Amino acid sequence: MFNKRTKIGELLSSEPDNREVTVMGWVRTFRNNQFIALNDGSTNENLQVVLELGKFDDELLKRLTTSASVRAVGNLIPSLGRGQRSELKATAIEVLGDSDGEKYPLQPKKHSLEFLREQAHLRFRTNTFGSVFRVRHALAYAVHRFFNEKGFVYLHTPVITASDAEGAGETFKVTTLPFDATPRNEDGTVDFREDFFGRATNLTVSGQLEGELAAMAFSEIYTFGPTFRAENSNTARHLAEFWMIEPEMAFYDLEDNVDLAEEFIRYIIRYAIENNVQDLEFLAQRLADEEKQLPQDKRSEFGLMEKLSFVVDNRFERLTYTEAISILRESNYNKKKKFQYLIDQWGVDLQSEHERFLVERHFKRPVVLTDYPKNIKAFYMRQNDDGKTVAAMDILAPGIGEIVGGSQREERMDKLVSRMQEMHIPVKEMWWYLDTRRFGTVPHAGFGLGFERMVQFVTGMSNIRDVIAFPRTPKNAEF
């Protein structure tokens, strides 16, 4: 069997007891024709493989270049070098894949994140991205573990849909029609009857509506899959393709919804802290070094580990949109016109700068905002008795603003239809959605958590393009 190996992460955490082991990985560095720093992605720590001088062929040694892949057999012994507990004294070395060390793009030196985005196919081999994606994996596993422990059913909702869920219209169209000879109706619109699905379809912006259907049978479900937004947003917070976690729960009101979201966020962060402490400590140091370059007033009050522990150990601040508007309007930032978008009236949509002010300057903790004006929220949100607001909630996190958006859903048929008509949502086409209100409607709620924003928050990475393997953004679909 070829793959009879021990992972480097496991070896480095075990006793150097002189046993024979086999390791495989990629060469980080090779110095003095004697010392290989070998890494296999299981940890940021390299295993030092020691070659006895004169024992190995010169032609073999020339092939031990940066990023060459090798198989090494030897004995795990205590290391005489500082900073390492053990090393492998090699008895056999085999080069599995050669690498031209001079042409390899990621030389053993510090590279900018911008440069590494251009080398996204190789950046996993760096310490920063090794840590980021191991943490991402841990968070994804924790998501499934949390909902499984709660008895939720995991639902796979469609990627191709005829609905845009929010009515926003910023969707990627799906078609097999030829671009140079698209069939047209008499009025000039596209004749989708000749298309694959026989109607206009797009990539999903949310699995929520389908999730609601399942919640009306299973009581509690969640989705975790890719979603797509065709927004022309070139920012550090937006992607055209990203992953969403969307639970939907029957017999829940808004308060139940907030309680679940808060418990969920704490759970998955705690899981990462308990299982990826080395990666998080590496990322915390990286962030601290990065912030040293910033002016004092731009630096975070907490280090990464302190921030994560604070979120896990403290309840989130809860207030209504109306209370938040009052705080923002009366703030010195607003009065001295430091906001790009000044707060001058109730009913405006909050921008990222307002959300971050509430979280980072005013409350200095995660914030839950509830009861937003209905005119800035989606049609499916339950209307409050005041006639002006809906039972919506957003959770705002330090550094990135909104991380969760959700609501109690409108379960009353008459009010839902009326709201759909107000917002020009096609009632007739949504018959399947309305059936859940016709046949045994119940109070229910749900939320969506943008997974990449959560990974950003936990890893301290400032750009969302650095927490997804191959970012899709305007004018960029490389790799």
**300-355 pLDDT, tens per residue?**
778 999 999 989 998 999 999 999 999 999 999 999 999 999 999 999 999 989 99
Q: Residues 127-143: what's their mean pLDDT?
A: 98
From residue 341, how far is each of 250, 352, 355, 363, 395 by CA, in Å? Answer: 38, 10, 12, 20, 21
Q: Residues 184-211: what's their mean pLDDT?
A: 93
pLDDT score recorded for residue 166: 63
**208-226 pLDDT, tens per residue?**
999 999 999 999 999 999 9
Indicate whether 168 pLDDT > 60: no
pLDDT score recorded for residue 57: 95
Q: What counts of helices (H) and strands (E) characterise the chain?
A: 14, 16
Confidence at 193, pLDDT banded by 50, 70, 90: very high
Q: Residues 92-110: what's their mean pLDDT?
A: 94
Query: Which residue's structure tokens are 């070659």?
Result: 51
The Cα diameter of the chain in Å comes to: 86
Q: Residues 436-444: what's their mean pLDDT?
A: 97
pLDDT score recorded for residue 165: 66
Query: Which residue's structure tokens are 């990475």?
Result: 461
Indicate whether this model's pTM tops 0.75: yes
pLDDT score recorded for residue 17: 94
Pairing type for strands 367-373 and 317-320 reads parallel
CA angle 170, 172, 176 (to 5 degrees): 145
**235-291 pLDDT, tens per residue?**
888 899 999 999 999 999 999 999 999 999 999 999 999 999 999 999 999 999 988
What's 125-170+205-466's CATH class? Answer: alpha beta
Domains 8-104 and 125-170+205-466 are alike in CATH topology: no
Query: Which CATH architecture does the domain made up of 8-104 adopt?
Result: Beta Barrel (2.40)
- % of residues, the chain, pLDDT over 70: 99
For residue 273, count other CB atoms closer than 10 A to its CB: 16
Show me where the domains of the chain are located: 8-104, 125-170+205-466
The one-character DSSP state at 108 is: S
Confidence at 134, pLDDT banded by 50, 70, 90: very high
pLDDT score recorded for residue 108: 85
Q: Residues 408-433: what's their mean pLDDT?
A: 95
**42-61 pLDDT, tens per residue?**
999 999 999 999 999 999 99
pLDDT score recorded for residue 341: 95
Q: Which of 104, 82, 85 is nearest to 47 (CA)?
A: 85
pLDDT score recorded for residue 112: 94
Pairing type for strands 241-250 and 173-174 reads unpaired
Report the chain's mean pLDDT, rounded to a whole number. 94
**352 vs 21, higher pLDDT:** 21
Pairing type for strands 173-174 and 153-154 reads unpaired
From residue 91, how far is each of 20, 55, 58, 94, 246 by CA, in Å? Answer: 9, 9, 16, 11, 52
Indicate whether 8 pLDDT > 80: yes
Q: Residues 178-186: what's their mean pLDDT?
A: 91
Confidence at 27, pLDDT banded by 50, 70, 90: very high
pLDDT score recorded for residue 266: 96
Q: What is the C-alpha separation between 9 and 47, in angstroms, rounded?
A: 9
Q: Residues 175-180: what's their mean pLDDT?
A: 92
- % of residues, the chain, pLDDT over 90: 85
Residue 232 is inside which H or E element, if any?
none
**233-248 pLDDT, tens per residue?**
888 888 999 999 999 9
Q: Residues 413-428: what's their mean pLDDT?
A: 94
